[in-house]
């Protein structure tokens, strides 16, 4: 039986940014929650979380440049009764899908107000799955625009699809140029065309979509 009040709810934080971790800790403690432990890396979380007697664990997905999926999968297996909440800057459907497959109970992005975490905590303690409002909006927009987006993908040239696929496989500009036997300036031109055709604002969004297209089809 999960606790129903802040005073009896134990929360463990997994976040590699000290300022962010301190801010979360203070926010939770001000509302009466018990912060029963903290970790700044996968190794610390693996060592400390099993013995923390946590009711909830809040995870950042990016820990020191690496995604935390493997560690979270292990923790879900070891601690099936701990509610897992992702609090991350990543709003890609691919990340959300992977997290939900692991068995995450809630997913909140850092685009949401930090107080949204309280709604997520209340939701998972009540036995519900919770998706933050910023992410819900993103997913709704994607569904609404899916037809136009898929049409845009179909209009890409064969070479543009090659560049997009290589980008999604983790290749950088120099590596893509080597693969296609072109210079890096040509690769940059292709990336600019891809951003324009797919209505993306920057290379970060392009990389995110390239990963989605490459790995989910």
Q: pLDDT tens track of the chain, all 217 residues? A: 466 677 789 999 999 999 999 999 999 999 999 999 999 999 999 999 999 999 999 999 888 877 788 899 999 999 999 999 999 988 777 678 778 888 999 999 988 888 899 999 999 998 888 888 887 766 555 544 544 555 566 778 888 888 988 888 888 889 899 988 899 999 999 999 888 887 777 888 888 878 777 665 4
DSSP structure class, residue 156: S
Q: CA 170, 176, 177 angle in degrees (round to 5)?
A: 160
Can you give the pTM of this predicted structure? 0.65
| Cβ–Cβ < 8 Å for 36, 13 | no
Specify the pLDDT at position 111.
85
Coarse DSSP helix, strand, coil percentages of the chain, rounded to the nearest 5 percent: 60, 15, 30
The whole-number pLDDT of residue 98 equals 79
Q: Note the pLDDT of residue 143.
A: 45
How much is the pLDDT for 144?
45
How far is the C-alpha of 197 from the C-alpha of 210, rounded, in Å?
Answer: 13
What structural domains and CATH numbers belong to the chain?
Answer: 6-136 (3.40.50.2300), 156-216 (1.10.10.10)
Tell me what pLDDT residue 17 has.
93
Q: Which two tokens stand for residue 36?
A: 């029963």
């Amino acid at each position: 039986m999960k606790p129903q009040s802040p005073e009896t709810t134990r929360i463990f934080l997994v976040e590699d940014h000290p300022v962010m971790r301190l801010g979360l800790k203070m926010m939770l403690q001000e509302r009466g929650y018990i912060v029963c432990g903290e970790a700044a890396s996968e190794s610390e979380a693996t060592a400390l979380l099993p013995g923390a007697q946590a009711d909830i664990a809040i995870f950042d997905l990016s820990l020191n440049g690496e995604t935390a999926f493997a560690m979270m999968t292990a923790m879900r297996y070891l601690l099936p009764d701990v509610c897992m909440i992702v609090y991350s800057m990543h709003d890609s459907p691919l990340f959300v899908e992977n997290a939900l497959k692991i068995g995450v109970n809630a997913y909140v992005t850092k685009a949401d107000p930090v107080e949204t975490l309280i709604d997520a905590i209340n939701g998972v303690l009540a036995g519900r799955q919770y998706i933050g409002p910023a992410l819900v909006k993103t997913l709704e927009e994607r569904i609404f625009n899916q037809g136009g987006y898929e049409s845009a993908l179909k209009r890409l040239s064969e070479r543009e699809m090659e560049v997009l696929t290589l980008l999604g496989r983790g290749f950088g500009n120099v590596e893509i140029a080597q693969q296609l036997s072109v210079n890096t300036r040509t690769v940059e031109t292709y990336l600019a065309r891809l951003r324009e055709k797919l209505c993306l604002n920057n290379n970060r969004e392009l990389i995110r979509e390239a990963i989605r297209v490459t790995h989910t089809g």
